[in-house]
Each structure stands twice: as structure tokens, then as C-alpha cells.
Homo-oligomer: A and B are copies of this chain.
Amino acid sequence: MMGGVANEPWLDDEEQQAWRNFLLMRRTLETHLTRHLQREFGLSASDFEILVNLSESVTGRMRAYELGEATQWEKSRMSHHLSRMEKRGLIRKEACDARYPEIVLTDEGLAAIKACAPAHARRVREFFADVLGRDRMVALGEASAEVVEAVEKHEHTNCPPEIRGCG
């Protein structure tokens, strides 16, 4: 029909192929990992991320804000998700501060992450680390950091006025 709409000077065929491979890879990997986590342990990727962060903290308790920094989620997403997790007994909100409730890992939550972490890590190794090999994996980690930095730098200077605040 057009064949050229995305074929501007912007990306040539080889680059586009690489980009599409990347998109496919990330979805394939994510779908696969998520589905197994869900089926075998009843945890979503989001659940997993929260539980990992909590379990890695020294006290097993954090404020939602800290979790937000660690995960880079929107605050409303965090709030919604923590409510759902609380309903399922994976975490608990404790009102120590009478303003900023603390998010506490419950025994059940701890048990859940302990149960699924090895299988998850094994899959990451099998499908990612082993396939790439150490060198390429480290290189990808560095490249990733560069991309994140580039995006964030741009967000600083170029985001829409409602958000900017910097100017």
C-alpha cells in the first residue's frame, strides 16, 4: 500500500530490522517470563518487582515513595497495585507516620518471593544470560544505561509544559 511510510530517511532497512527484532525479543521474553510466573506461582511481573524490592530492603518495609523511585512506576499505579497486593495478603500497609503509610512485606509475601525467585532467575539465565553470554550481556547492560540516560536527559529539557517545571 505504501511500504514507505516508515521508510523515511529516519531509519534504513537494516536499522529497522534490528529495531523490530528488539521489539519482538522483548515481548517474547516478557510474555514467557510473565506467563510462567503467573501460572506456577500466581504472581504477576508487577507483584514480583514489588516483592523483590521489599525483600531486598534491610527491614522489609519501605514507603510507597521509595518503591516508586526503585521501580519508576507512576504513583497512581503504585497505589492501585499495592492495594491489590494488600487484598491478597502479600503486603500490609502500616500507618506509623499517620501520613505516609509504610509498606510491609508479610510472611506470605516473603514466602511467595522465596518460592518463585529461583525458578525465575533460572529462566532469565536460560533464555537471556546463557544465550547472550557474559560479554554481550554486560555490553547490553551498558548500552541500556546509555539509552536510559539519553531519554531522561531529553525528558528534562523537552517535556510538555504541564510537566516541565524546568524552564
Contacts and interface: CB of A to CB of B under 8 A. Distances in A.
Contact of A60 (B1, B110, B122, B139): B1
B155 A32 contact: yes
A114 B1 contact: no
Nearest to A120: B6
A29 to B, nearest CB: 6
B18 A140 contact: yes
Contacts of A26: 26, 144
A121 B72 contact: no
A125 B18 contact: no
A143 B144 contact: no
A17 B5 CA distance: 38
A contact patch SS: helix
A164 B110 CA distance: 32
The 7 closest A-B pairs by CB, nearest first: A18-B141, A25-B144, A10-B121, A21-B144, A1-B60, A21-B141, A131-B150
A66 interface: no
A160 interface: yes
A27 interface: yes
A152 to B, nearest CB: 7
Nearest to A56: B3
A127 B131 CA distance: 25
A79 interface: no
